[in-house]
Structure 1
Amino acid sequence: MRQTSSNEAIQKLGIRHPIIQGPFGGGLSTERLTAAVSNLGGLGSYGAYQLPPDEIGRVADRIRAQTDKPFALNLWVSDHDAGGDALSPEDFERFYRLFEPYYQELGVEKPQPPERYHHRFEDQVEALLEARPPVFSFVFGVPPAAVLAECRRRGILTSGAATTLAEAEALDAAGVDLIVATGFEAGGHRPSFLARAEDSLMGTLALTPLVADRVKAPVIAAGGLAEGRGIRAVLTLGAQAAQLGTAFLACEESGTTDAHRELLFSDRARNTTLTRAFTGRLARGMRNRWTEEMASRLGELPPFPIQSWFLGKLKPAAIRAGRTDLVSLWAGQATPNLRHRTVPALMASLLEELSAP
Structure 2
Amino acid sequence: MIIDELRTPIVLAPMAGGPSTPELTAAVSRAGGLGFLAAGYLTAPATAERIAATRALDGGPFGVNLFVPGTPTPVDRYARYLDELGRAFSLGEPKFDTDDWAAKLDLLTADPVPAVSFTFGCPSAQEIERLHAAGSEIWVTVTSVAEARIAREVGADVLVAQGAEAGGHRGTFADRAEDDATDPLTILALVQLLTAAVDLPVVAAGGIATGAGVAAALAAGATAAQLGTAFLDCPEAGTAQVHRDALALDIPTMLTRAFTGRRARGLRNRFMLDHPEAPVAYPEIHYATGPLRAAARASGDADAVNLWAGQAHALAGREPAGELVRRLSEEAKAALEKALSRRIQCY
Query: Per the alignment, in what secondary structure is the counterpart of residue 266 of structure 2?
Result: strand
2:250 aligned with 1:267: yes
* 1:160–1:176 contact (8 Å) kept in structure 2: yes
Select which of 140, 150, 164 maps to 2:144.
Answer: 164
Give 2:73's aligned amino acid: G
Select which of 175, 189, 211 maps to 2:155.
Answer: 175
Select which of 299, 303, 317 maps to 1:325.
Answer: 303
2:139 aligned with 1:149: no
Q: State the partner residue of 1:4.
A: none
The number of aligned residues is 332
* 2:232–2:316 contact (8 Å) kept in structure 1: no
Identify which range, 119-128 or 344-353, moves more after superposition.
Answer: 119-128
Q: State the partner residue of 2:342.
A: none
Query: Per the alignment, in what secondary structure is the counterpart of residue 188 of structure 2?
Result: helix
Q: State the partner residue of 1:289.
A: 270
Q: State the partner residue of 1:204.
A: 187
CA distance in 2, matches of 1:176, 1:281: 24
Q: State the partner residue of 1:3.
A: none
- Where does 1:6-45 land on structure 2 (aligned, <5 Å)? 10-11=3-4, 14-45=5-36
**Pair 1:324–1:117, CA change in 2 (3 A):** farther
Select which of 255, 260, 279 maps to 1:279.
Answer: 260
* 1:73–1:133 contact (8 Å) kept in structure 2: yes
- Where does 1:1-357 land on structure 2 (aligned, <5 Å)? 10-11=3-4, 14-77=5-68, 79-83=69-73, 87=75, 96-103=82-89, 108=90, 111=92, 117-193=97-173, 196=176, 198=180, 199=182, 201-268=184-251, 271-295=252-276, 297-298=277-278, 301=279, 303-356=281-334, 357=337
Give 1:173's aligned amino acid: E
Query: Per the alignment, in what secondary structure is the counterpart of residue 239 of structure 2?
Result: coil
Provide TM-score, normalisation by structure 1.
0.86
Identify which range, 282-291 or 125-134, moves more after superposition.
Answer: 125-134
* 1:81–1:305 contact (8 Å) kept in structure 2: no
Give 1:274's aligned amino acid: L
Query: Per the alignment, in what secondary structure is the counterpart of residue 285 of structure 1?
Result: strand
CA distance in 2, matches of 1:311, 1:192: 22
* 2:109–2:131 contact (8 Å) kept in structure 1: yes
Structure 2 stretches lacking a partner, 5+ long: 338-347
Give 2:259's aligned amino acid: F
**Pair 1:345–1:266, CA change in 2 (3 A):** farther
* 1:57–1:130 contact (8 Å) kept in structure 2: no
* 1:117–1:309 contact (8 Å) kept in structure 2: no
CA distance in 2, matches of 1:195, 1:331: 19
Q: Offset at 1:131?
A: 2.9
Q: CA RMSD in A?
A: 2.2
**Pair 1:112–1:279, CA change in 2 (3 A):** closer
CA distance in 2, matches of 1:178, 1:208: 13
**1:272-330 deviations in Å (ceiling 9; x for gaps):** 001111111111001111101111x42xx471111111111222221221111111001
* 1:10–1:16 contact (8 Å) kept in structure 2: no
**Pair 1:230–1:113, CA change in 2 (3 A):** closer
CA distance in 1, matches of 2:165, 2:28: 22
* 1:288–1:325 contact (8 Å) kept in structure 2: yes
Identify which range, 51-60 or 336-345, moves more after superposition.
Answer: 336-345
Give 2:312's aligned amino acid: A
Give 1:265's aligned amino acid: A
* 2:93–2:288 contact (8 Å) kept in structure 1: no
Q: Offset at 1:15?
A: 2.2
